[in-house]
Amino acid sequence: MVKQKLDKERRKALLNARGMIEAVAKADGNEAETRRRVERIFDSVMGYDALKHISREHAVHGVGDTEYCDFAIQLDTKESSVPIMLVELKRVNIDLMAKHLKQVSSYGINMGCEWVLLTNGKEWKLYHISFGQPPQTKLVDSWDLLTDELTKLDEKFNLVGYKNIKKDGLTLLWEKRNVLTAKNVLKIVLSEQSLNSIRREIRKATGVTVTPEEIVGAVRHMLNEAALGEMEKVKISLPVKKQKRAATPKKNNIEENKREANNGH
């Protein structure tokens, strides 16, 4: 895949964001110092207006005492509207853990907010909450501001940036993730039509003929343990082997057989 080139200003913004977090990490800054720098990243890298779009210490009313989420991203300024995304911050040198995810997930569930972002400035983890019985929180994407390439950081920050949020891009992202599950992809790959197509392409590229069963074995070999579990749930549609019809004797062979029969009498 061709890497996207960054313009000068975008590159500068990402490098400045990285520099800010590196500096606060080196100084072992506290949560408040981390929060100030992350807020600047929401402004300079993700395109939010900190005064209009970010609600700080957003009240979350659940069972028991009122709790407060660090940031709520809210494009609709109506007081009754549900935030589009909740952001929970941890001190820069604190590793993100399961208990932190549980905390921000509970905020999202109590507020009816589908998207939560967990970060310590270095690590960024985007989760989606599905409101079933019980609700489920799934990791959708993650990135590291200090170690990932700038082109990747550009893509990921744009994903949660103002422009994409405004055009409801996260909803499209979740729809695609739901469609492109291991089970759905395997159902297509292991269908009769796909297996026949793969056989033709392998024969065309290598001159070697393989069977559908051999292709299924190769796919199984490539999969990790989780995907193998999904494969066991998929019905594999092997192409039906066609029965070869007996060859019809040629006309001259028939005449020859008749002559031999006459000579024998």
Query: CA-CA distance, 265 to 258, in Å (whole number)?
Result: 11
Give 184-224 pLDDT, tens digit per residue: 778 888 888 888 898 898 999 899 998 888 888 888 887 77
Given CATH 3.90.1570.30, say whether it is the number of domain 8-167: yes
Q: In what order do the strands lie in the sheet with 67-73?
A: 54-60, 67-73, 85-89, 115-119, 123-130, 136-144
Query: CA-CA distance, 113 to 61, in Å (whole number)?
Result: 13
Closest CA to 140 of 93, 180, 89: 180
Mean pLDDT of the chain: 82
Give 127-157 pLDDT, tens digit per residue: 999 887 888 888 999 999 999 999 999 999 9
CB 37 within 8 A of CB 24: yes
Element (H, E) at 100: helix 98-111
Tell me the pairing of strands 115-119 and 85-89.
parallel
223 DSSP 8-state letter: S
Residue 12's pLDDT is what? 95
Checking if the pLDDT of 263 tops 70, the result is no
Query: CA-CA distance, 25 to 32, in Å (whole number)?
Result: 13
Closest CA to 160 of 178, 146, 174, 181: 174
Count CA atoms closer than 13 A to 246's CA, side-chain side.
2
Domain residue ranges in the chain: 8-167, 182-241
